[in-house]
C-alpha cells in the first residue's frame, strides 16, 4: 500500500463516503486521481477497442458510461468501471463469428449480444446471485487469465510491427511470428518497439524521478510515439526505401477518430437485435455474462482488499451496476465493461477517496474526445498495441506459473490445463476443463462424491458469543457457496464469534484455504473473531500456507545427533534458536570408527539428541552444524523423513503464532 494511503487512513478517522458531503470534502483528492486515471484510461480504451475489432471510439463510450452511471448505482467506492483486456478474446471472437472486424453488421450484432449479456447480469444481481462468483476454482481462473494474456500478446504483435490484415487463432499466430518479424514495416515497428520499452522501463525508472512518477507509462508512450508518427508523416500517404525494400506509410497506422469537435456523437451505433435469432449469439452472450461477471466480481473483491478504509462492496449491487452500464453502452455502440483492477489500483495509489474519482475520470474522457478528436487521430496503432502487449505480459507473467507451482503441483496441472484448452478451444471449454480436472483430483484424494457439492456441517454453541461449525467429509470449491452462507448466517448475521473445525474433513482445497482467509478479514472488520482449527491434523500438499490439505499422516524430518557430553548445552542452546518445538536427550556410550580401528576399544560417554522438526528448521540445524560444529568437533548427524499426525505441533513458535493470528 502506498505511503500516502496509509497516512491518509490514519490521519482521518472518518471513513470517506460517496455522498454529497464526500463529494465536496474530498473534491481535490478525487478530481486529481480522476485526471491521473484518465491519462491511463484514454490510450487503453482505444487500444482495447481496436483489439476487440470494435471502432476505437467504442471503448471511450464504455468508460464514459461506466464512470457516469455506475458511480451512482454501485457502492464500490474505489473501483474504476470500463473496458478491460480480459474481455478482448470474447469480444473479438464474437465479432469474427459474425463477419469480422470492420464489418458494420458484425459490430451491430455484437452490440445486440452485449445487450443480452447485460440483461443477464442485471437479473443475476437482482436475484442476489453474486455469490456464484465464489464457485470457480482459483487456479482455473488464473489459468484463464494467463491464457487471455498470451492471446492478447499474440494478437497485438502484428499491430506493433506494422503488419496489416494478420489473422488466425492463437496457435496459428504463434507460428507466424517469424514471418511477422521478417515482413515488419521498420518505421511502424520502431514506434512499437520504443513504446514497448517505455512500458516496461518507465515504472522502474519513474521511482527515481520524483514528481514525474505521477505520469503513467501509457501517457509517456503517447508523448513519445505521437511525435514519432508525425516525424514519419503518417497522416499522409508516403513511401520510403530501406535495404532495397519499399515500405508504405499512411494514416491506416493511426487511430481512426472523428474529424471534428463533438463528432463522437456521430459515431453512436445501435444494436441489430435480429442477430439474437441466431443460436451462436447466445453462446457469446453467455460468455460475456459469465466471464465478464466473474472478472468484475474478482476485481471488486481485490479492490476491497486494497481500500485503505476497508470498505466492502455489495457484490450483488455491483453486478447490477455493471449490467446497467453494459446495457447503456451496448445500446450506443460501446464495449462490455467490468470493474477494472489495473485502473482501480492506480485510482487508489493516486489518493482517491470516494467513487467520484471514477466519475471525474469519465468527465475528462468525455471532454477530451468531444473537444480534441483530431489530436487523438495522431496516436499510432503500434503504440496502443505495445501497451496491450505489456498488459498481456502482466496477465501471463512467469511469476504466475511459479506462484501456482509453489501452492501445489496439482494446482499447476489445473492452471496449465485451463490455459492450454483456452488457447486451443475457447474460454468456456478451458474453464470447464479446469473445473473437471479439479473435481477428478478431489475424488482421487478421497473426497466422497456426495460431498462434492454439498458440505456436511454441524453447528455447535461453544459459549454465549461463540459458535463452532464442524466441517465433515470435505471443504472444497464446489461446496463452498453453501458453506459460506452458513458461516455468514451463524457469524456475521447473528454477530457471533466463529470457530471452523476442519479436523474431520477428508480434504480442504486451495480455493477454500484462500476463501477462509478472506472470511477472517470480513469478521475482523465486523469486530468478530474467526478461527480455523484442525488444519494441523491434515497433510499440506506443499509448503505454501494456501496449499490444499488432506487427511493422512504428514511428512516431517527427524534429526538425530550423536555428540560428546561436553557439547550438550551448546547444541541444545543453538538448535533451540533454529526453531525446534521440543527435543529428547539420552545419555549413552559407544565407539566410533577411530575407536574401532585402534587395538583396544574404548567406549566414550555420549549424548543422543533427537528432534522432530519441519524441513526449514531441519535445514537450519544442518547449516549450523556444518558452519560452527563439524569443523572443530566430531558429531554424527542423521536426518530421516517420518510421518506424524499433527504437523502443526512441530512448527516453529513464530509460525504457530502467525498461523493462529492468520486464521
What pLDDT is recorded for position 15? 84
What is the model's pLDDT at position 654?
A: 58
> How far apart are the C-alpha atoms of 663 and 661, rounded to whole Å?
6
pLDDT of the residue at 1: 34
For cell 436475484, the residue is 127
Element (H, E) at 612: strand 604-613
Residue with cell 480504451: 45
User: Residue 166: what pLDDT?
Assistant: 85
Go through the domains of the chain in sequence order and give each one's CATH number. 29-395 (no CATH), 400-444 (no CATH), 450-541 (3.30.750.24), 553-654 (3.30.70.120)
Alpha carbon distances (Å) from 603 to 562, 587, 591, 598, 606: 14, 13, 5, 12, 9
Q: Look up cell 529428547; give the residue.
A: 584
pLDDT in tens, 631-656: 988 889 999 999 888 777 787 765 54
Instruction: Check residue 168 and report its DSSP letter.
Output: -
3-state DSSP assignment of residue 603: coil
Helices (H) and strands (E) in the chain, counts: 26, 15
Supply the pLDDT for residue 134.
82
Pairing of strands 505-508, 466-475: parallel
For residue 56, count CB atoms less than 10 angstroms from its CB and return exposed for 0-12, middle for 13-18, buried for 19 or more.
buried
Interatomic CA distance for residues 475 and 555, integer angstroms: 22
Q: Is 0.85 surpassed by the pTM of this model?
A: no
**pLDDT given at position 164:** 85
pLDDT value at residue 435: 95
Q: Angle at CA 650, nearest 5°, toward 648 and 653?
A: 90
Backbone angles phi, psi at 474, to 5 degrees: -165, 160
Q: Of 448, 531, 425, which is closest to residue 487 (Cα–Cα)? A: 531
Q: Which residues pair with 605 in a beta bridge?
A: 589
β pairing state of 549-551 and 505-508 = antiparallel
C-alpha distances (whole Å) from 477 to each of 59, 143, 454 are 35, 16, 11
* DSSP secondary structure, 126-148, as one string: HTT-GGGGGSS-HHHHHHHHHHH
Q: Which residue reads 449480444 in cell numbers?
A: 113
Task: Fill in the DSSP letter of residue 453.
Answer: S
Q: Are 158 and 166 within 8 A, CB to CB?
A: yes
Specify the pLDDT at position 7.
37
- List C-alpha distances in Å: 338 to 118, 326, 574, 639: 11, 9, 55, 53
CA distances from 388 to 50, 162, 525 (A): 10, 15, 37
The confidence score (pLDDT) of residue 210 equals: 75
Q: What is the pLDDT of residue 240?
A: 93
Low-confidence ranges of the chain (pLDDT < 70): 1-13, 599-603, 653-663
Over the Cα atoms of the chain, what is R_g? 30
- Report the distance separating Cα 46 and Cα 85, nearest Å: 11
Contact 470, 460 (CB under 8 A): yes
- Is residue 471 a contact partner of residue 504, using CB atoms and an 8 Å limit? yes
Amino acid at each position: 500500500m502506498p505511503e500516502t494511503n496509509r497516512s491518509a487512513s490514519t490521519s482521518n478517522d472518518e471513513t470517506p463516503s460517496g455522498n454529497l458531503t464526500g463529494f465536496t470534502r474530498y473534491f481535490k483528492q478525487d478530481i486529481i486521481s480522476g485526471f491521473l486515471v484518465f491519462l491511463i484510461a484514454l490510450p487503453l480504451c482505444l487500444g482495447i477497442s481496436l483489439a476487440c475489432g470494435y471502432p476505437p471510439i467504442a471503448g471511450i463510450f464504455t468508460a464514459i458510461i461506466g464512470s457516469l452511471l455506475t458511480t451512482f448505482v454501485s457502492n464500490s467506492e474505489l473501483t474504476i468501471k470500463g473496458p478491460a483486456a480480459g474481455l478482448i478474446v470474447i469480444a473479438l471472437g464474437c465479432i469474427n463469428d459474425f463477419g469480422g472486424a470492420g464489418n458494420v453488421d458484425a459490430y451491430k450484432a455484437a452490440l445486440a449480444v452485449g445487450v443480452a449479456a447485460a440483461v443477464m447480469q442485471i437479473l443475476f444481481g437482482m436475484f442476489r446471485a453474486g455469490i456464484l462468483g465464489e464457485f470457480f476454482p482459483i487456479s482455473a481462473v488464473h489459468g484463464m487469465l494467463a491464457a487471455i494474456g498470451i492471446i492478447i500478446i499474440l494478437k497485438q504483435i502484428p499491430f506493433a510491427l506494422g503488419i496489416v490484415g494478420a489473422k488466425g487463432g492463437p496457435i496459428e499466430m504463434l507460428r507466424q511470428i517469424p514471418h511477422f518479424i521478417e515482413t515488419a514495416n521498420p518505421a511502424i515497428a520502431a514506434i512499437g518497439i520504443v513504446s514497448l520499452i517505455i512500458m516496461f522501463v518507465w515504472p522502474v525508472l519513474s521511482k527515481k524521478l520524483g514528481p514525474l512518477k505521477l505520469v503513467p507509462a501509457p501517457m509517456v508512450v503517447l508523448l513519445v510515439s505521437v511525435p514519432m508518427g508525425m516525424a514519419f508523416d503518417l497522416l499522409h500517404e508516403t513511401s520510403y526505401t530501406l535495404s532495397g525494400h519499399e515500405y508504405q506509410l499512411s494514416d491506416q497506422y493511426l487511430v481512426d477518430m472523428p474529424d471534428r469537435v463533438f463528432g463522437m456523437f456521430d459515431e453512436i451505433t445501435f444494436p441489430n437485435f435480429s442477430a439474437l435469432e441466431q443460436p451462436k449469439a447466445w453462446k457469446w452472450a453467455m460468455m460475456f455474462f459469465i466471464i465478464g461477471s466473474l472478472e468484475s466480481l474478482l476485481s471488486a473483491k481485490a479492490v476491497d482488499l486494497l481500500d485503505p478504509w476497508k470498505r466492502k462492496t455489495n457484490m450483488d449491487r455491483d453486478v447490477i451496476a455493471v449490467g446497467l452500464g453494459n446495457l447503456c453502452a451496448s445500446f450506443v455502440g460501446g464495449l462490455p465493461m467490468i470493474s477494472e483492477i489495473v485502473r482501480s489500483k492506480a485510482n487508489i495509489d493516486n489518493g482517491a477517496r470516494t467513487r467520484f474519482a471514477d466519475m471525474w475520470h469519465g468527465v475528462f474522457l468525455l471532454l477530451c474526445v468531444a473537444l480534441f478528436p483530431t489530436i487523438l487521430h495522431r496516436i499510432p496503432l503500434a503504440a496502443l498495441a505495445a501497451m496491450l502487449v505489456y498488459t498481456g505480459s502482466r496477465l501471463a507473467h512467469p511469476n504466475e506459473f511459479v506462484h501456482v507451482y509453489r501452492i501445489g503441483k496439482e494446482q499447476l496441472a489445473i492452471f496449465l490445463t485451463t490455459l492450454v484448452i483456452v488457447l486451443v478451444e475457447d474460454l468456456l471449454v478451458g474453464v470447464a476443463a479446469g473445473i473437471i480436472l479439479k473435481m477428478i483430483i478431489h475424488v482421487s484424494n478421497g473426497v466422497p462424491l456426495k460431498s462434492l457439492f454439498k458440505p456436511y456441517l454441524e453447528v455447535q454453541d461453544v459459549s454465549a458469543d461463540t459458535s463452532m461449525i464442524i466441517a465433515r467429509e470435505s471443504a472444497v470449491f464446489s461446496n463452498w457457496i453453501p458453506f459460506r452462507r452458513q458461516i455468514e448466517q451463524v457469524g456475521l448475521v447473528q454477530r457471533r464469534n466463529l470457530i471452523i473445525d476442519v479436523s474431520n474433513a477428508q480434504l480442504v482445497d486451495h480455493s477454500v484455504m484462500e476463501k477462509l482467509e478472506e472470511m477472517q478479514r470480513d469478521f475482523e472488520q465486523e469486530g468478530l473473531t474467526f478461527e480455523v482449527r484442525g488444519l494441523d491434523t491434515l497433510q499440506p500438499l506443499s509448503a505454501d500456507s494456501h496449499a490444499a490439505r488432506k487427511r493422512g499422516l504428514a511428512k516431517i524430518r527427524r534429526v538425530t545427533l550423536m555428540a560428546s557430553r561436553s557439547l550438550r548445552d551448546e547444541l541444545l542452546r543453538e538448535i533451540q534458536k533454529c526453531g525446534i518445538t521440543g527435543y529428547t536427550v539420552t545419555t549413552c556410550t559407544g565407539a566410533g570408527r577411530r575407536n574401532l580401528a585402534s587395538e583396544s576399544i574404548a567406549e566414550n560417554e555420549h549424548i543422543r539428541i533427537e528432534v522432530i522438526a519441519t524441513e526449514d528448521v531441519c535445514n537450519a540445524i544442518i547449516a549450523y552444524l556444518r558452519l560452527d560444529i563439524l569443523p572443530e568437533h566430531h558429531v554424527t548427524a542423521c536426518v530421516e523423513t517420518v510421518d506424524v499426525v499433527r504437523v502443526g505441533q512441530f512448527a516453529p513458535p513464530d509460525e504457530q503464532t502467525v498461523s493462529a493470528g492468520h486464521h
